[in-house]
Structure 1
Amino acid sequence: MLRADQKRYLKLEPLSKVFDAIRKEVKPLGTELVPTEDALDRICAKNYRARWDVPPFDVSAMDGYAFRYSDLFTSRIFLVKRKIFPSTKVRRKIKKGEACYVATGSPLPLGADTVARVEQTRVLKESKIEITRIEKAKNVSRKGEDIKKGEIILQSGKRINPASLSLLVYYGIRRVRVYKKPKTGVLSIGDELCEFKQKQKGKLYNNYAYLVLNYLKRLGFDVMNFGVCQDQNRKIAKIVAQALKSVDVLFTIGGTSVGLKDQTPDALSSLSSRFLFHGVRVVPIKPAGVAKLNQKYVVLLPAHPVSLVLSFHVVAIPVLSLLSGCEFNSFKCSVSAILEQPIRNERNIDALYLVTLTRKERELVAKPLEWGSNLMSNVMRAQGFVLVKAHEELKQADRIEVELLGAQELMGVCY
């Protein structure tokens, strides 16, 4: 791609080199301690191990009667001596011919090794029961059967979900070491734009900013909207420099290509930014790029809606994943689907195609949408996208991998 005013080309890198550059340059921001109750969806920054076995002793897995299995060889009649609940402290050893009522989760009386469910017993007179046929050690959860002491219960680099947070609370871990969450911002660039709340005659609302703002919010990031900047080198540079004082990564929308008014790359260069890459050998995300300035990052996104959304998911999300302390593709989600109609890429470079997803019987079915980088209606209808290599054809009924535009896109599709 040749820049008209400066007679230079936009160097298009294959995705493999783009991803290599991101992996090489983007590192986590550091760590911090947060209260465990506030750690939901944060990224864990150290391995946490079980402080004791779960369960900590043999417990009943059912409501029933605990007894010594060997006593069945003498008699099926047992004397019920006591009732045991999860809060009961067990000190007495069970004797021959005795049984104890146990609630689910209760410790077994010392010496007991089997639990007969209530429905496997017949209540007799004088606190006695008869136990029917049962296998040895049935309905018993052994000490450490679920989690063993010293086992990793939460791994560094993993997102803290409700279950893992609950387990941290169970072990009395009051504060958790997590990776710092990147602060993000969005800046729209274009003489034709105005703020959503400040309508100007002859101007367009910067609605595409709300695509990026809300994708970031969906991913759980704090985000600032830096509004609109005109297509002027110095103004762009000034706002970018100011924005990077408040955020770790800034997403610019527009002015990224090689047109006469595409000033964003030059503005970043004037700030002594270093480009990890600028130009991707994939349509329609060719003008996308990432620049680094004083340990902060600027992600350049094109202003056409399809190009913008695909650039965000292909290029920006890996940057956010690595900054957050995650693996490269941790924030991405994909599903397997059957292709409803063929996709033929006759270009000399790879191409991304938006698809809709529907469920037919037990399969997800992907249908490619009409090609066009500026079709907002396609963005609105699509649930995901697929990469098709140069001169490659995906045939009808092929099984393909669809990368989702967020895990939420499956809501209403899967049931």
Structure 2
Amino acid sequence: MALMPVSDALAAVLAGVEPLAEEKVGLDEAYHRVLAYDVAARRTQPPEAMSAMDGYAVRAADAAVESRLTVIGEVAAGRPFAGSVGPGEAVRIFTGGVVPDGADAVVIQEDTAADGKHVTIKEAAIFGRHIRPAGVDFREGDVLLRKGIRLTERDLALAAGMNHPQLAVIRRPKVAILASGDELVMPGTTPGPGQIVYSNGYALHALARSEGAETIDLGIAADTLEATSAGIRRARESGADILVTTGGASVGDHDLVQQALKGEGIAMAFWKIAIRPGKPMMHGRLGAMRVIGLPGNPVSSYVCAFLFMVPLIRALSGRSVIHHQRERAVLACDLGANDQREDYLRARLEVRDDGTRVALPVSHQDSSLLANLAAAQVLLVRAPFAPKAVAGTPCEVLRLPV
């Protein structure tokens, strides 16, 4: 099979994807969930004109400098004044209090001198000053939260202010992660001859959760067809929307994942793509469960998960923005010509005093080097057959999560 272009591979991963079912959750559970419908305000905010400051509600025409007004009452938040303000009168008012009928300005207390039942104005009132008009924030029926957004803490405050105790959101995708390899041992273990410490799963679980998915740990399968197949069956039984395998994606005698996937009835869309790092990546589907087979090298595993798993999670979550957004930068050093594979170089990103973003590839691009992956801030994208480029040449980067 010829190497599939990255764009075609991503299109295959996302083909036919629809958002998962909706569910209603309370606001306390809605943070970073994806909104299933537009949300309109159920009330006007503020419902009536409110004072923005502590002071006195007055008629601006009466409140010239050194005017002496009679204080006829008091307004606090939640305790409106029942009467109205007439000529020569004022009402003591506190922040958030409803501006009484007849008043059209608030004089802050620092600009007054109180004397029992009277107040003297030291700074002339200005019509409408220090008053929040009714509806200045929003009005009933205003659509302020849109379908497909991932709800922030600010969105939740807005939803509460709009008088919504619950929101309809898309169900979290379930991502099952299965590692493969006799050579893998858990962190904290002393590796034996030929063994390595398992690291891929920790990054994959964290990346999936950061995008709003629930994750299921299927552990490490031994390099046998039976063990690998059993792990795939456990993914189906768990109700996973996505099965992610890591390791065993190459074509060696001990790389059994593709064989096991096919044996379980999974139709493979591709198993080699024109990408560096990560050429031996697979994708297929079994019923509603989508499968992404990642390489075993930790950098390849992470980069391919970032490029393919993340958009798939976003699509299943109903996000309005699915794809990573490329940013412009310039090269910090010369780069040689590229071959037929789209390259995703791990790089640091610096910002010059003039605001120019400068991408500096890490010193070694080997797909096994975790320290350089952790040090990178962006992926520097180079198209297939890109020519040599000198320092200062414009380039495109993808920001890695922080």
Normalising by structure 2, report the TM-score. 0.88
Call closer, same or farther: CA 1:162–1:79 in 2, change over 3 Å: same
Q: Deviations over 1:151-180 (max 9, x none)?
A: 123222222222222333344433322111
Q: Shift of the alpha carbon at 1:344?
A: 4.0
Using the aligned pairs only, state the percent identity.
25
Amino acid at match of 1:89: P
Higher mean Cα deviation, 100-109 or 116-125?
A: 116-125
Alignment match, 1:356 = 348
Asked if structure 2 preserves the Cα contact closer than 8 Å seen for 1:345 and 1:389, the reply is no
Alignment match, 2:218 = 226
Asked if structure 2 preserves the Cα contact closer than 8 Å seen for 1:124 and 1:130, the reply is no
Q: Shift of the alpha carbon at 1:15?
A: 2.6
Alignment match, 1:377 = 371
- 1:81-92 equivalences under 5 Å are 81-92=72-83
Higher mean Cα deviation, 172-181 or 338-347?
A: 338-347
Amino acid at match of 2:229: A
Alignment match, 1:287 = 280
Structure 1 gaps of 5+ residues are 1-8, 409-415
Q: Secondary structure at the match of 1:244?
A: helix
| CA distance, structure 2, for counterparts of residue 69 and residue 179 of structure 1 | 52
Q: Deviations over 1:46-87 (max 9, x none)?
A: 222101111111111222222222335798443222221111
| CA distance, structure 1, for counterparts of residue 389 and residue 137 of structure 2 | 45
Do residues 250 (structure 1) and 243 (structure 2) align? Answer: yes
Q: Shift of the alpha carbon at 1:99?
A: 1.9
Q: Secondary structure at the match of 1:81?
A: strand
| CA distance, structure 1, for counterparts of residue 24 and residue 17 of structure 2 | 22
Q: Secondary structure at the match of 1:261?
A: coil
Asked if structure 2 preserves the Cα contact closer than 8 Å seen for 1:76 and 1:132, the reply is no
Alignment match, 1:214 = 206
Amino acid at match of 2:368: N
Alignment match, 1:58 = 49
Alignment match, 1:3 = none
Do residues 107 (structure 1) and 102 (structure 2) align? Answer: no
Q: Shift of the alpha carbon at 1:319?
A: 0.7
CA RMSD of aligned residues (A): 2.7
Count of paired positions:
397
Asked if structure 1 preserves the Cα contact closer than 8 Å seen for 2:112 and 2:119, the reply is no
Asked if structure 1 preserves the Cα contact closer than 8 Å seen for 2:44 and 2:134, the reply is yes
Asked if structure 2 preserves the Cα contact closer than 8 Å seen for 1:195 and 1:227, the reply is no
Q: Secondary structure at the match of 1:44?
A: coil
- 1:27-46 equivalences under 5 Å are 27-46=18-37
Amino acid at match of 2:276: V
Asked if structure 1 preserves the Cα contact closer than 8 Å seen for 2:43 and 2:163, the reply is no
Asked if structure 2 preserves the Cα contact closer than 8 Å seen for 1:251 and 1:301, the reply is yes
Match of 1:78 among 69, 76, 80: 69
Asked if structure 1 preserves the Cα contact closer than 8 Å seen for 2:330 and 2:393, the reply is yes
Call closer, same or farther: CA 1:295–1:77 in 2, change over 3 Å: same
Amino acid at match of 1:49: A
Q: Deviations over 1:206-229 (max 9, x none)?
A: 222222123233334332222222
Alignment match, 2:138 = 147
Asked if structure 2 preserves the Cα contact closer than 8 Å seen for 1:13 and 1:279, the reply is yes
Higher mean Cα deviation, 223-232 or 64-73?
A: 64-73
Do residues 128 (structure 1) and 119 (structure 2) align? Answer: yes
